[in-house]
A and B are shown apart, each in its own frame.
Chain A
Amino acid sequence: MNKLYFLGLSLLATSLSFASFGQAQKSNDKKNQTHFITGIGGSYVNIIDEGISPLLYDGSGGSVILGHFQEKMNNLNASSVKFDFNNPSSSISNAEMYTFRLEGHFQRYWKVSNLEEKKLKLRPGFDLSAKWALRQHLNFTNNSQHIETRFSVAPALMIARPFELWERNFELGAFTSIPLLTYATRPLFASTRFPASVNKEEIEFLDYVKEGEIISFGNYFKWSTQFFLFYPLKNGNGLRLDYFWNYESYKAQNPVRTGEHSIMISTFFKI
């Protein structure tokens, strides 16, 4: 049922996207443009959080995104805040959880002059990201809520391939990044309490990001990829169909592995 829902949302997003293709005849020059991004779509997650359960939880939900995308002569800057809600369940225990995820990115990519001349444009860059995630198990009591945070620095790569189809201009591409260094927090070993909140009656928001650890390859791996199909409109605005995917594995005291997917349709408003 969850997969059907996810597929349905994906098809809806795709059809909305293609329905919009007829609105433009030619693209504008994208140099030195800034766009404000709003998007919505469906999402799907796989989770094994051994702080909660050894079982695989998977399920669908929804996503929204806000962001900005700035293209200059020599570089591109992109920032975004994406929120996901999912309702995964275990096919073995039939238990359910809610997951809430807020993830922010700032990315910069540089245009390498000799690569920009080619049809396939490769743009190296970096990705700074922050993530806050809450997993709430619906059948647990004292340990029903698990919160974790991440702050990552990652080299990133943008691949873009403009092309023309039906006498209209499109751009197909991907952003991908793998963090080199990450600062991560997880709850205490056998509790949902955070180390920094011990001895505090009122938990402060910053407690969730204190007393974490700096991690890298060996005990932490994350691969994020975003595929896109961009369609510039005549008036300088645009539409983008995105598929986001990331896989994360953190060998903490309670290991956690997640795979997260979203398909989103976004509008680009020129500002």
Chain B
Amino acid sequence: MSLRNITILLLLFLALSSCERLFMKEEPEPENAAIFDHLWETVDEKYSFFEDKNIDWDSARDVFRPKAIEARNSVELFNVLADMLFILKDGHVNISAGIDLSRNWDWFLEYPTNFNFDVIERNYLAPSEDYQISGPIHNTIIDSVGYMYYESFSNNVSTSLMDYLVLKFLINEEEESFQLNSLDGPVAGIIIDVRNNGGGSISNAFTIANRFAGDRVKVADWFYKTGPDHDDFSRAEEKFIEFDGNEDYKFNKPIVVLINRSSYSSANFFASMMSFLPNVTLMGDQTGGGGGLPINDELPNGWRYRFSSTRTLDANGNNIEFGVKPDILVQLDSTGFIEGNDRMIEEAIDFIKSQ
């Protein structure tokens, strides 16, 4: 074989072996039907709450596919897809395009607000000499009760920060000594306020819950989607909380967690976890829910969307997608707001001091 033939052979080999883009084409301007089908099929196979919510997803396709095909522009197509996703009744479901972000916020819009940070800031935080903003946590001491407001689980907290806050609430400044694990200390208990906390990183929920936990206790079972059928889930992944922090500063006094309908996702899970601690009382309104970890995906036209892909049952078998009920139901009224009064905080203080 001549060098020329070898060269031709190698060049042919090279030409054949580097042409994978022939098999990896993508449509630069996909049809509406292709976009719709991708969204419908992915959600059909990977969304985790069809059976829990008794949703007829096949019927959604019958209703919305013709509308998607008939959509004349991006705005119309977006609205059709958003309308279809709306029936999942899930705050973790969104579709995002440059023009809009679809959302289902019925989980809190249909209920009383039960929260006004302005009232808290002006009447409880700012007037207090103990008011600090420690990382993401607003904190102070109100009438001998520690108060922490955590606005978003997206803002990271650490065990050392939690150690600091617990220490702050346990220092007896008058005696210039620590009164640990004693009702004689400066606070009778702690209020952890996660109202209007829309969630964030689940690890922050564990960090705080572990700081107030005692011995290891099971709080939940997680189930991952493992296949395309609506009931294809993994075996339960058990979730536990256990004390993690400075052993010298364990906090065993009463804790009230304030919740409302805008406590969602990680805040919902946090409330659920805390409810398994013997010294914790949930107070306020039911949480908004959000019991599935959302995952992201993209459509063939580049729009991004997300949806829940796991299920969470608490250690008693309750599906927390639908929210966590308070131990003590308390609603705020507008009169209280006008008077600069947050009834939930007041009731929480009274409850702690009565323990």
| A contacts, CB < 8 Å to B | 46, 48, 52-56, 90, 92-95, 118-120, 137, 139-144, 159, 161, 163, 172, 174, 176, 188-191, 193, 195, 198-199, 223, 225, 227, 243, 245, 247, 249, 253, 257, 259, 261
Contacts and interface: CB of A to CB of B under 8 A. Distances in A.
A225 B17 contact: yes
Interface in B282-302: 293-302
A175 B304 CA distance: 41
Contacts of A261: 18
B234 A195 contact: yes
Given A189-B226, A199-B235, A227-B14, A120 B296 contact: no
B4 to A, nearest CB: 12
B31 to A, nearest CB: 14
Contact of A92 (B26, B48, B293, B295): B26
Given A174-B10, A245-B18, A191 B310 contact: yes
Contacts of B46: 189-190
Contacts of B301: 92
A223 B18 CA distance: 10
Contacts of A193: 224
Interface in B1-52: 1, 3, 6, 10, 13-14, 17-18, 20-21, 23-26, 28, 38, 45-46, 48
Interface of B: 1, 3, 6, 10, 13-14, 17-18, 20-21, 23-26, 28, 38, 45-46, 48, 224-228, 232, 234-238, 293-304, 306, 309-310
Given A53-B298, A142-B293, A143-B296, A189 B21 contact: no
Given A53-B297, A245-B18, A92 B28 contact: yes
A46 B13 CA distance: 20
Contact of B238 (A46, A95, A199): A199
Contact of B298 (A90, A118, A142): A90
Given A48-B26, A143-B295, A93 B238 contact: no
Contacts of A48: 24, 26
Given A55-B300, A140-B295, A188-B226, A119 B14 contact: no
Contacts of A137: 296
Contacts of B302: 55, 90, 92-95
B1 to A, nearest CB: 5
Given A141-B296, A191-B225, 4 more contacts: A190-B45, A191-B224, A253-B227, A257-B24
Nearest to B310: A191
Contacts of A199: 235-238
A227 B9 CA distance: 12
B228 A189 contact: yes
Contacts of B238: 199
Given A92-B28, A174-B10, A189-B232, A198 B224 contact: yes
B234 A188 contact: yes
